Chain A
Amino acid sequence: MTVGPQFRRVARFVSPADRGFAAVVYGGSILFALLIIGLFVELVLGSWPSIIAFGPSFIWKSSWDPITSNFGALPMIFGTVMTSLIAIVLAAFIGIMAAVFLADFAPQWLGQPLSFLIELLAAVPSVVYGLWGLFVLAPFMRTTIGPALQHVLGWVPLFSGPIYGVGLLTGGIILALMIVPTVTAISRDVLVAIPRDLREASMALGSTKWETAIRVVLPAARVGVFGACVLALGRALGETIAVTMVIGNRPEISASLFAPSYTLASVIANEFTEATTSIYTSALIELGLILFLVSMAVNALARFMIWSVRGSERV
């Protein structure tokens, strides 16, 4: 954005080599744009038979029956929304608190290694989360966390019913782990960018350091922090492999968080190569299109919010 007028003059591409260079650069960019537009077009084309056959009721019908070719996306939308909600509630609390600590309280010898470890959490491959979730977290949910929750909160429908280990809650917890680094890293950057004056003014008025961090700095950074959470939500919505391994893969809507469920992404992962009829394939691609549109909207919102605090710097 900082290209000055004097540069615009010298940047004229006049010699033949320069013109060829400009053409190649244009060509690469056009190819890049075409790839992204092609992605959208192909998803729409692929789901067209399903859109024609089921119409808008695809979104709120709850049957998913390959044998009678009767498809509705509601159970997967429900599973995706529920796991993502559990994830964002857990990750927002832990992530924002961790960011407050790292931005305002951590001495350098503690803050740097903690930040580093939390950021590495983002680098762990999805399939490794899934493996850990399937063999460590799911059994632990079945034998320890689940019964404990049920003992205390069993009268709430959310915590009723048999505990399989795999299910909505396990999927949500795994997702929470995966998105905590996003919330923490961006929130910390936004918090650090809040002017010192604000902190000093608050301390000068007699606030404790904690009151300053929670009542002055955090509210001042709220748009950016909220943006970080929305961005993390976008990641959670589209996450596939780890969730597929711990969600139980059953297209049912159940009140209990312990019940097995399904998400938009995991049904595609499980059934796409086994889809025998073309309408089945098309219905799966339509699920992908829904996922694409939702995560695009969520991401656009998040980026808009984070930019508005960080200025022109892009996430």
Chain B
Amino acid sequence: MTDTELRQAGTPAPATGPDGSPGRPGHPRTRRRRFGPDTTKGTVAKIVLLGLVDALAVYVLMMLFLSESWGALAVSSAVVLAINWIYLRKGGLPAKYLAPGVLFLLVFQVFVVLFSGYIAFTNYGDGHNSTKDDAIAAIQLTAQKRVPDSPAYKTAVLAKGNSFYLLFTDPDGKISLGSTEAPLEAAAGAGKDSTGKANALDGYRTLTFQEIVANQQQILGITVPVSSDPADGTLRTADGSNAYQFKPALSYDAAADTFTDTDSGAVYRDNGKGAFAASNGETLTTGWKIDVGMENFARAFTDPSLRGPLLGVILWTFTFAVASVALTFAMGMFLAMTFNREDLRGKKVYRILMILPYAFPAFLSGLVWSGILNPQFGWLNQTLLGGATIGWLTDPVLAKISVLVVNLWLGFPYMFLVCTGALQSLPAELDEAARMDGAGPWRVFRSIKLPLLLVSIAPLLISSFAFNFNNFNVIFMLTGGGPRFADTDRDIGATDILITLVYKVAFGQGTGRDYGLASALAIIIFIIVATVSAISFKQTKALEDVNS
């Protein structure tokens, strides 16, 4: 029994098998015939397509030039040149067919993986997402205090497009306009009301009181810089009618590279970890991105709020992946054996109905099951069990079982289809010969059919393992990873697998985003999956196929 036979059995096309493929020993290269010349239509199409691509490329390069991203500009220019070279030169045909797919593959699969590797060694995340200069400016802007004797600026709220502006009238009657992005500027020709307060400006719409109330959050968030130097402070309004001057509560000393609290006099220095820290260890919330070496990995396995839960998650990820493969395969194989009878009535109907879960979108399955299993209102507790309150999704053990059952529901049709295909490709003589020798049905299955089937199905079981190892949708849609562990304040739960943990650490609600740690966890997944697949592929010799 070889792989070829299985493919022939399962493929409707005229199957010459890999032996019909070119380049095997016995097909000398020199005898290969040349392709005919390009047609005129083809050449025109090529020129038009390449022209469009180049036009787009020139636009992208110009934008990169304007934004002064020199590194990206150099790489992009090289790519554009390479593309033109590939398609304009004579010969090099394989490259012409491979280039588009490979380009996307390199950027969005290979590069992003390498980039993940880089992020894993930084402290990138909330509070550490830019350069030190940006952080200094941001600290000066955010840490502001109202100047004690600040005069009141009469204020009107104006709108232009979707953004809001504040129109100030200072105590001397000088009128100026500004918003968070636009520092204060003198405004000429403003309309005034009876009290001398400017309330209208050409090109802008004055907001009514109701509109101000409706957009309160945005308006209160406006901080108008007095000048382009952040040290000069800002103007803010608390009610939409009066504004006061605010000054940085922390003053930056560029020479010493320190921040000084204007009240307490406490000095914050660069602590070498991408933040300013006072001598008592207190740090300012806004920091910057630095390389931290192995710290993210070290933190994952030493931080007490992370170590215990993370080990639990890794263990459960393996359990979940292995159990999912084992359960779906066992059920699929059992069903394939059960329905592998030509003369069974209703076989086709069973088959169609049974593969329906496979056709149902996976992300919806998790959500639908979460309704059925909902402990308070779900169908299982309310209707089938008559008002029981079993925590199908809230008890750590039951939640794990629920996840496995739902994944079994999602996965068994696939295994059923595949096992049926593989089973039907086994020659019937095997069965007869074994029975002639007196083997019972179980013995035939155990000693003859299963080993033969495993040869062709093993690579698929490995793929299935790799898939379930990162089966985000089932977990996230069904339990969201919960119930949460009690021994940590982080959002980690009993059914979390590594990939849901990565997602929560990087983009979760509540706790701050920590891209560095999330990438470090992703790298751990990479290493695990790579190791497991390398070992198992070596064993099944699936790679032999490639050597043709």
The answer to whether A and B interact is: no
